[in-house]
């Protein structure tokens, strides 16, 4: 079904597509995050969208992970959402900023306890000798925090991709797809239609 996007900004239609995506896909909030290493080599991985507002698209991670190191070196990223059940895709590009501590703390507190323990147990992106080592670390941090509150590790935070370009793609027959691009201009957006 083609959505004739009438809005002059991209966030409302994005939210509508995300909501529709949840009806057909269990991980509709999964997005491919592309970063660049200091040597210019691109890297991509799937992360989960955990926040969206007028400021941008938020995800959380270990600040010592490869993706974080790349974002600190080059604070720009690209995101791609694919909802195959809807034959739709959205691409987002823009600068990246770190999420504030209050927002990070609130999100960390909302996570399941096992995920909170996992944030302590995992040295994300570093070498792991065996799965048994990870299991041992999970047990160690589970004992350390007992039944009490699990505090957020200082190295666990979030990033916000501030959208400057947002492209909506809808599949159409005969490869005559529909592409609508929003480009940030000051406080507003410019709409452009692209050839498929």
88, two tokens: 């739709």
Phi/psi for 27 (5° steps) reads -120, 50
Give the torsion sign (CA, 107, 111, 114, 115).
negative
**Residues 35, 40: Cα–Cα separation, whole Å:** 9
Tell me which of 131, 143, 175, 193 is the catalytic residue.
175
Question: Is 175 in the active site?
Answer: yes
Residues designated catalytic: 175
């Amino acid at each position: 079904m083609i959505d004739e996007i009438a809005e002059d900004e991209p966030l409302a239609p994005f939210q509508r597509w995300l909501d529709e995506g949840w009806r057909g896909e269990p991980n509709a909030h999964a997005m491919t995050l592309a970063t660049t290493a200091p040597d210019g080599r691109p890297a991509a991985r799937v992360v989960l969208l955990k926040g969206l507002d007028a400021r941008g698209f938020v995800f959380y991670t270990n600040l010592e992970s490869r993706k974080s190191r790349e974002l600190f070196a080059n604070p720009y990223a690209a995101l791609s959402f694919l909802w195959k059940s809807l034959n739709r895709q959205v691409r987002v590009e823009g600068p990246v900023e770190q999420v504030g501590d209050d927002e990070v703390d609130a999100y960390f507190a909302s996570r399941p306890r096992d995920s909170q323990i996992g944030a302590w147990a995992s040295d994300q992106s570093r070498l792991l000798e065996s799965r048994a080592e990870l299991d041992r670390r999970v047990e160690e941090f589970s004992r350390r925090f007992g039944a009490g509150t699990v505090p957020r590790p200082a190295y666990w935070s979030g990033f916000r991709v501030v959208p400057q370009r947002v492209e909506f793609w809808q599949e159409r027959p005969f490869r005559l797809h529909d592409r609508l691009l929003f480009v940030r201009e000051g406080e507003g957006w410019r709409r452009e239609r692209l050839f498929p």
